[in-house]
Amino acid sequence: MSVTPGRAAVLVVLFVLGALVGTAGALLQGGWFPAGLLLALLGAAGLFHGGTRLTGGRSGALAPAAGWVLAVILLTASRPEGDFLFGAGIGSYLFLLGGMAVAVMCATLGLPRQPAASAARLGK
């Protein structure tokens, strides 16, 4: 499938949205532990699945997943001052592993291929 300028723009927007959802989820999962974690993972799943539906292919899930992973990895790194955003708790690990699992599920399941209009009716 060729990449048109419009499709590339959609993928860039999905990448940025993935980074924003990853950042918001990182803050939310630590703030309201059980419900915040679920809300953060549901937001990521909605973005990944919505990207798949929007683009009609797996690249729609991979672009926001790449932005999400980049944001989360950058937020896990500690600074020279000793500050960090993620604590070493079960919620942080569930957010990291759960988000990656959701991204893999949305990217691999994808959309089923539909037959072409002419192949739908064999006898005509």
Distance (Å, rounded) from C-alpha 107 to C-alpha 69?
Answer: 14
Q: Which two tokens stand for residue 49?
A: 């699945």
Q: What is the secondary structure of 35-78 as a DSSP string?
A: HHHHHHHHHHHHHHHHHHHHHTSTHHHHHHHHHHHHHHHHHHSP
- 79-117 tens-digit pLDDT: 677 666 666 678 788 888 999 999 999 888 866 666 556
pTM score of the predicted model = 0.81
User: Would you give the DSSP letter of residue 123?
Assistant: T
* Side chain identity, residue 58: R
- 8-31 tens-digit pLDDT: 999 999 999 999 999 999 888 877
